[in-house]
Amino acid sequence: MSNLINIRDIAPSDKDPMRGWRNLRHVRTYMYNDKPITKEEHSFWFDFMMYDPTRKYWVIELDNNPIGVVNLANINTLNQSCDWAFYIHDEKSRGRGVGSFVEKFILEYVFLEMGLNKLNCEVLESNPKVVEMHKKFGFVEEGFFREAIKKDEKMIGVHRLSMLKGEYLSSVEEKTGIDKDLDIINKIQKIRSKNNINWMDILRLCLKENNKEAKKIISNINSHDSEISKLVEELSKG
Ligand SMILES: CC(C)(COP(=O)(O)OP(=O)(O)OC[C@H]1O[C@@H](n2cnc3c(N)ncnc32)[C@H](O)[C@@H]1OP(=O)(O)O)[C@@H](O)C(=O)NCCC(=O)NCCS
């Protein structure tokens, strides 16, 4: 699998599947309205949204399959601001960096392409990981609305976060060449640690299916690893 992420404009053909995505429990639970949306409600909403200049929707694809949705809302050209939100409905595509890719895309789009001054988002108290994620990207918490909405018979709060264009630009400029290199190394380390699990799964499978041949391959890996160790040792001297 090549893991190609693509963000494309929403199309009329996304109308029906989108209701299914939005109605999944693991998506609607993080939305203000967590009641399943009827066909009629969705149809009215979708047709209006497609022509609403204050909103913009995209579909997130992974290897050409739709896995999520990202949107801007309340686009206000006078105040130069807008809100945003996103979800990945395909659970197995979560935690693989797609959300981070989308967050970077939105920041670039809003501040560099649209030239707006302020980007806002709101996150439910029950979703603290996403608050942390936004803060990591430089969003600042403006406030916490206590007991703002009712969820499962319980009152919960809402975090309000925002980023200003100036903050975004300085965070991009601040990064020196070395910072960027270190960012790449960090990303590689994270991806490699995920892939290590896949490699171990392959080895387990091979050991079960053809134990003798698998052991030969493991022995080869070990011998090459020893060569690498020698080279690294050489490198570490003086
Ligand atoms: C929010 C969401 C889009 C993040 O997408 P993703 O592809 O899983 O995000 P990434 O893989 O890029 O992870 C980004 C970071 O956020 C963390 N994170 C974000 N949402 C998380 C969640 N629900 N559970 C655990 N970790 C989460 C990840 O651990 C990761 O942290 P790290 O960089 O320190 O490792 C996805 O979790 C989702 O669809 N959640 C449900 C809908 C939702 O909450 N939308 C936001 C409403 S405001």
In the prediction, which pLDDT does 225 show? 84
Q: Whose CA is nearest to atom 27 of ligand 1?
A: 129
Residue 70: other Cβ atoms inside 10 A:
22
Identify whether the C-beta of residue 81 lies closer than 8 Å to the C-beta of residue 30: no
Tell me if residue 156 falls in helix, strand or coil.
Answer: strand
So where are the chain's domains? 5-173, 177-236
- Conformation bin of residue 176: beta by default, left when phi > 0, alpha when psi is -120 to 50: beta
- Name 164's bridge partners: 118
Beta-strand relationship, 118-124 and 81-88: parallel
Would the CB of 120 count as within 6 Å of ligand 1? no
How many CA within 13 A on the CB side of residue 33?
8
Would the CB of 50 count as within 6 Å of ligand 1? no
Would the CB of 84 count as within 6 Å of ligand 1? no
In a mutational test of the pocket of ligand 1, which residue from 130, 139, 158 has the highest number of ligand atoms less than 8 Å from its CB? 130
In the prediction, which pLDDT does 222 show? 85
Report d(CA 60, CA 85) in Å as an integer.
Answer: 12
Report d(CA 50, CA 214) in Å as an integer.
Answer: 55
Q: Whose CA is nearest to atom 24 of ligand 1?
A: 129
Q: Whose CA is nearest to atom 31 of ligand 1?
A: 133
Map 104-146 to HEC letters.
Answer: HHHHHHHHHHCCCCEEEEEEECCCHHHHHHHHHCCCEEEEEEE
Q: Whose CA is nearest to atom 33 of ligand 1?
A: 133
Identify whether the C-beta of residue 139 lies closer than 8 Å to the C-beta of residue 163: yes
Would the CB of 97 count as within 6 Å of ligand 1? yes
Would the CB of 94 count as within 6 Å of ligand 1? yes
- Conformation bin of residue 206: beta by default, left when phi > 0, alpha when psi is -120 to 50: alpha
In the prediction, which pLDDT does 231 show? 82
Identify whether the C-beta of residue 143 lies closer than 8 Å to the C-beta of residue 113: no
Would the CB of 73 count as within 6 Å of ligand 1? no
Taking the chain (238 residues) in runs of 10, the rounded mean pLDDT of each run is 85 98 96 94 97 98 97 98 98 95 97 97 97 97 97 94 96 76 77 82 90 89 84 78
Residue 59: other Cβ atoms inside 10 A:
19
Would the CB of 129 count as within 6 Å of ligand 1? yes
Would the CB of 21 count as within 6 Å of ligand 1? no
Nearest ligand 1 atom, CA 133: 16
Identify whether the C-beta of residue 125 lies closer than 8 Å to the C-beta of residue 135: no
Prediction pTM value: 0.76
Residue 21: other Cβ atoms inside 10 A:
19
Would the CB of 131 count as within 6 Å of ligand 1? no
Identify whether the C-beta of residue 138 lies closer than 8 Å to the C-beta of residue 169: no
Nearest ligand 1 atom, CA 100: 12
Read off the amino acid at residue 178. Answer: I
Q: Considering the domain 5-173 in this protein, what is its CATH number? A: 3.40.630.30
In the prediction, which pLDDT does 2 show? 57
Report d(CA 149, CA 154) in Å as an integer.
Answer: 8
